[in-house]
Amino acid sequence: MRRTVKDLLIEIKDTTELMVDLAYSAILYNNEDIAEEVLKLESRVLELLSQIRTVSVLAARRVEEAEMVSSILQIANAGEKISNAAGDISSLVLRGFKLSDEIVNLILYYSEETVVKLEVPENSEVVNKTLGELRLHTQTGMRVIAIRRGFSWIFNPNRDTKILKGDLLFARGDPSAVPRFYKFITGKEIQAQKLPKEIEIEELDRAVDLLIEMKNLSELAVDLSYSALIYGNEDIAYEVAHLEERIDNMKFEIEKLILESSRYFSGENLKPLMAIIEIAYCSEQIADAARDIANVLLKKMEIPPIFRDAMRETDEIITIVEVSDKSNINGKTLGEAKVETNTGMHVIAIKRGQSWITKPTANAKIYSGDLLIAKGTREGEKALVNLCSSARL
């Protein structure tokens, strides 16, 4: 049976987002199994793209329908760019281009959203419960993207996936949520991660700093690009274009810094430097894809209603919520208001009047009239709406 455009859009978005998460997990943990799964998913995305092109062409019988098809195909082609970039990052692992431990530690510490792995102990209260029963994402702010069970893997587990003792969980979320996730799974407290050592070579240290920022901004650009189309917001679309330009400039700066630092390395020791350049290039490709999505709005292309419907049914939704002047979080920081703790929603940007706060930290203040752009579960969205409008915390 032929699938609908809506179904295909949902799977393309979910699959490409999972691929990016897994690709970074593969390179950070030097895991070939995860890398190979990303390449399998890349083949799956190509199949989905072929299907959506066929279905879209068959659906276009009039000029108006052809215009809608054009925007759908542009969004789908952007998904292909993201898929290719994730595949290229994973290929680094399979070709033996490993990042050094000091670089990995810095990326894990400073990334806007980090990836952790944690084994489920035998006495854990989560054993034999499903992710849906646990409401893990909403309760901790961390989303399980993969589970290793013995020699087998479960990728992109759903709410019906049961957690067993000894499972190795790979989860993605805000770094500040890691202690809460650890306690939820193990019942034990952990100390906040210590500040990793800086890299002694100045040029390399600066290149890694820029790489972390590129990774954060490219993922943010994708989230914002989808937000722009869902809400028909040109301000957000222009912000995506601005981010893409910044990321382009950062890529060139990283390449320059890596070339300057290469005089300290030779032979096999050059591989981490080559990996940094490739990851930077892939991050830039992800940002390009985000701009392609935003350009659907900026170029006044027709956005079919089916797109917005599809985006509401993806694994993670993106929402925009305005802070009421009656809300108790008015005037508080994100940390003080415990936005992510109370809702499980990750605030990716704040729009205040004509200005933007991208990658807001726990110290970012919230004021009435602010638009919080956040991603998470549909259950978390309801909690965020209540938090931003209610006078009770």
Using the CB atoms, write b or e for 72-109: b if 16+ within 10 Å.
beebbebbbbbbbbbbbbbbbbeeebbbbebbbbbbbe
Q: Which residue has the tokens 């490739």?
A: 278
Tell me: do 123 and 153 sit in the same domain.
Answer: yes
Hey, CA dihedral for 304, 306, 308, 311, is it positive or negative?
A: negative
Here the tokens at position 343 are 């809702």
Would you give per-residue pLDDT tens digits along the chain (393 residues)? 468 888 999 999 999 999 999 999 999 999 999 999 999 999 999 999 999 988 877 766 666 666 778 889 999 999 999 999 999 999 999 999 999 999 998 888 888 788 888 999 999 999 999 999 998 888 888 889 999 999 899 988 988 999 999 999 999 888 878 888 999 999 988 876 677 888 889 999 999 999 999 999 999 999 999 999 999 999 999 999 999 999 999 999 999 999 999 999 888 889 999 999 999 999 999 999 999 999 999 999 988 888 888 998 888 899 999 999 989 899 999 989 888 878 888 898 998 988 888 878 888 999 999 999 999 888 889 999 999 987 543
Here the tokens at position 332 are 């508080």
Tell me: do 77 and 112 sit in the same domain.
Answer: no
Tell me: do 259 and 304 sit in the same domain.
Answer: yes
Query: Model confidence over 223-281: pLDDT tens digits?
Result: 999 999 999 999 999 999 999 999 999 999 999 999 999 999 888 889 999 999 999 99
Nearest to 176, CA basis, from 142, 202, 210: 142
Angle (deg, nearest 10), helices 32-59 and 5-29: 160
User: How far apart (Å, rounded) are the C-alpha atoms in residues 142 and 345?
Assistant: 10
Residue 15 counted as domain residue: yes
Per the structure, the count of domains in the chain is 3
Nearest to 274, CA basis, from 290, 288, 254: 254
What CATH number corresponds to the domain at position 381? 3.30.70.1450
Residue 220 counted as domain residue: yes
Tell me: do 80 and 126 sit in the same domain.
Answer: no
- In one letter, which amino acid is 143? R
Does this model's pTM top 0.95? My answer is no
User: How far apart (Å, rounded) are the C-alpha atoms in residues 299 and 162?
Assistant: 45
Residues of the domain holding 222: 5-96+198-309
Could you give the 3-state DSSP secondary structure of residue 33? Answer: helix
Tell me: do 116 and 249 sit in the same domain.
Answer: no
